[in-house]
Structure 1
Amino acid sequence: MTRLNQAQRRIHQAALRLFAEKGVMQLNISDLAEEAGVARGTIYNNVETMEQLFEQVASQLSGEMHQRIALSFAGVEDPAERLSKGVRLFIRRAHDEPHWGAFLNRFALSNASMREMLYSQVTVDLLQGLQTGRYQIRQETLASVISLIAGATLGAIFMVREGIKTWRDAGAEAVELLLRALGVPAEEALRLARLDLPPLPAVD
């Protein structure tokens, strides 16, 4: 993950908020400079095009969240428990950082870096669950199952952002239904969906 200087961090944080609100094509230099609290010249020195900035922001966001999720899984071997924690960490962060959640809802399925963030760890854990017999699904359905998990996560984030569900309820219900779809018994799926959720580890 590329290390950013202070000005670049401010620009990326401002861009995240504005991309989530406006999209890529509607953002201009003046808006970005005002939101970041920097001079227009600082933007010109650090941003070639808005399209390139968007890709940088998406890649940075994806890499950072991927690292934090991986750290949160330290010592957790059960793929079902990892799924429970991973999905709910995404949903809780979307509640804690609304612009982050809005960015995910808007771009997660249309950008390669963002899809990688959603799919990569899930794919590893699904394969492990298949190999160990933890999950009762056919391997040829793997792509559909990954899409199901991503869709359920983003749908729960949307409900939280709209005030339809709390992040705890949305996360627990999504995880319970996903685990049952994967073949985990109902009582165990409910237990796993309600496990205490640790803080999301920080990364440098």
Structure 2
Amino acid sequence: MRTPPDTLPDSPPDHRTRVAMERRRKMRQRLIESAFAVLARKGAHAAVIEDVIVEAGVSRGTFYNYFQNNEELLDAVTAKLGDYLMQLVDPVVRTQEDPAARVASGIRLCLRAALAFPQMAQLVSRMDWQQAAPGGQPHGYLARDVEAGLREGRFKVANARLATDLVVGPVISAFHALLHEPLPPGYPEDLAQGILLGLGLSRTEARQLSQRPLPDLSLVPVPKPA
């Protein structure tokens, strides 16, 4: 007996549709990677459209099929870079069972990356963390540890939003600061300690967690093409 038409399962996209979608994905990735290369040379606030077109070897029309302006391109680049940074940092963070230790190590590793690669700091410092919060990897990883810290009684603040702001605000401020002035030795550890104090840990424990040994990361500021 034939299945009635209104109960047929949705058919998958045909081959041409799948090929077109994959081609579009690869071109967008190519433009973002080209923007990484340009921004590494010229800085995060350069007007980069012309240079990206040349770097990617595409026409102006092709570029504008994917991005309407410079800001839209930079938003895509910073989102990609934030996700990439978290993919490097989080495997180390997850070796810690204590959520307070996770937050401390995440802060320190992110700042070490920014100190090693000022271009990364320029790009990440322009991220709108509050608008990107629901879907971005940086917020997702932090939310995981903040919620665990509150649930386990490690953080003694009113709610998750306050705890998140107590972490994100100082870190973004530090990213901005290191672009304009040399930070004192041990600043990532000092900042992590200060944030843990704000979250309600004792001075002794905050100091201990912020001084735990961490492995060095093999940081590459621009993701390599697949």
Pairwise TM-score range, normalised by the shorter structure: 0.7 to 0.9
Change (3 A) 1:82 1:177: same
Distance in 2 between residues matched to 1:6 and 1:130, nearest whole Å: 38
1:161 is matched with 179
Distance in 2 between residues matched to 1:175 and 1:93, nearest whole Å: 15
Q: Which amino acid aligns with 1:21?
A: H
2:208 is matched with 191
- Choose the corresponding residue for 1:137, options 157, 172, 196: 157
Distance in 2 between residues matched to 1:3 and 1:196, nearest whole Å: 39
Q: Give 1:1-204 correspondences, 5 Å limit.
A: 7-8=30-31, 10-17=33-40, 18=42, 20-22=44-46, 27-33=47-53, 36=55, 39=57, 41=59, 45=62, 48=65, 49=67, 50=69, 51-109=71-129, 112=132, 116-139=136-159, 142-166=160-184, 168-200=185-217
Change (3 A) 1:59 1:6: closer
Shift in Å, 1:55: 3.5
Q: Secondary structure at the match of 2:175?
A: helix
Report the TM-score, using the length of structure 2 for normalisation: 0.70
Change (3 A) 1:56 1:156: closer
Count the aligned residue pairs.
Answer: 193
Residues 78, 126 of structure 2: 8 Å contact kept:
no
Shift in Å, 1:173: 1.4
Identical columns (%):
21
Q: Which amino acid aligns with 2:206?
A: A
The answer for unaligned runs of 5 or more in structure 1 is none
Shift in Å, 1:89: 1.1
Larger radius of gyration: 2
C-alpha RMSD over aligned residues: 3.2
The answer for unaligned runs of 5 or more in structure 2 is 1-24
Residues 99, 146 of structure 2: 8 Å contact kept:
yes
Q: Whose helix fraction is larger, Structure 1's or Structure 2's?
A: 1
